[in-house]
Amino acid sequence: MTAASGALTHIGVSGEAHVVDVSAKDDTVRVAVAEGFVRMNPATLATVIAGNAKKGDVIGTARIAGIMAAKQTSNLIPLCHPLMLSKVTVDITEDADLPGLRVEATVKLTGKTGVEMEALTAVSVTCLTIYDMAKAVDKTMEIGGIRVMEKSGGKSGDFRHPERS
């Protein structure tokens, strides 16, 4: 996050890190959407989709892990504000072209600061959970493409990634 001057907002004039004071900001509806993927062997993907992984329901467990992670972002990322999230969804879809699973998280609240970090954390932990639950059959899985695709609300306005259709 940068100020209008281009300076980092989490760094004070003497170079010390601090939590940004958002008390003067207006409460607005804020939404962020992030995405990522887990690439895996086609046989691993088939195992996950069929629900035959040794550790159980990979997709259901990963979805819950992502939602829980979004709610814990301020405990994981230094200087993030603890937030009262009003919505967290994690969608996991099969992508035979990868092959693998695509993950998209949407986070929403009405508040003084954005939820991009919560959406990114949800996607990251979802992908890590997929890896953890399927690693017994495929240690070559690759996690990637984690990025913010959209954000709305707040003083800086809306953002839509150029690759977002």
Which pair of structure tokens corresponds to residue 89?
């969804």
10 is in an annotated binding site: no
* 145 torsion bin: left (phi>0), alpha (psi -120 to 50), beta (else): left
DSSP state of 93: E
Tell me whether residue 127 is annotated as binding: no
Phi-psi region of 6 (alpha: psi -120 to 50; beta: other; left: phi over 0): left
- Indicate the SS3 state at residue 98: coil
35 is annotated as contributing to ligand binding: no
From 57, 132, 138, 158, active-site residue: 132
Q: Name the helix (H) or strand (E) containing 34.
A: strand 28-39
| Residue 118 marked ligand-binding | yes
Residues 158, 164, 134, 55: is their CA dihedral positive or negative? positive
HSE-up of 100 (CA within 13 Å, CB side)?
20
142 annotated as ligand-binding: no
User: Is 132 noted as a catalytic residue in this protein?
Assistant: yes
Residue ranges of the annotated binding site for substrate are 79-81, 117-118
| Residues annotated as part of the active site | 132
Residue ranges of the annotated binding site are 79-81, 117-118
